[in-house]
Amino acid sequence: MKTWRISIALFGAAVLCGSAALAGEVNRVTIKTDETLNVGGKTLNPGTYKVEWDGSGPNVQVKMVQGKDTVATFPAQLQDQKVQNPSTAYGSTKDSDGTRSLTAIYVGGKREVLQLQSNAANPQQSANPGAK
């Protein structure tokens, strides 16, 4: 009888933990930048970054990680596009001072785009493919 109660309690705990893990799902992609970018008040050097965001939108919190270090955190809007992105890529604008700012991250294989606000006065939009 005691073993049966313990088994039921363990089963219940496993179900609760499993549903909690699904509810807190984190979305991830990897991008490779070939230029220096400004994002969230930080400067990102060319390189490979893991991009993670919580939630399914529209407002999400984005974290960019290089190695084990979080290098930038910023808000974005998760938006759906009409067509699926063929690969993971990013968009940037050229600011009036000549620097480039990250404006969007396109999620490869999905119709999702993480849209950031641009601070550029006269943006020149470009999209760059990223690595998966």
pLDDT by residue (tens digit) across 58-91? 999 999 999 999 999 999 999 999 999 999 999 9
* Residue 38 belongs to domain spanning: 26-129
Question: 2 in a domain, yes or no?
Answer: no
Whether the bond between 46 and the residue before it is cis, its omega within 30 degrees of 0, is: no
pTM: 0.71
Three-class DSSP category at 36: coil
Question: 110 in a domain, yes or no?
Answer: yes
Question: 20 in a domain, yes or no?
Answer: no
Question: 66 in a domain, yes or no?
Answer: yes
How far apart are the C-alpha atoms of 10 and 24, rounded to whole Å? Answer: 21
The CB density around residue 22, as the number of other CB atoms within 10 Å, is: 8
- Model pLDDT for residues 4-29, shown as the tens digit of each residue: 555 555 555 555 544 444 555 669 99
Question: 15 in a domain, yes or no?
Answer: no
Question: 49 in a domain, yes or no?
Answer: yes
Number of domains in the chain: 1
Strands 47-54 and 26-33: antiparallel
Three-class DSSP category at 19: helix
Q: Could you tell me which residues are beta bridge partners of residue 72?
A: 64
Question: 13 in a domain, yes or no?
Answer: no
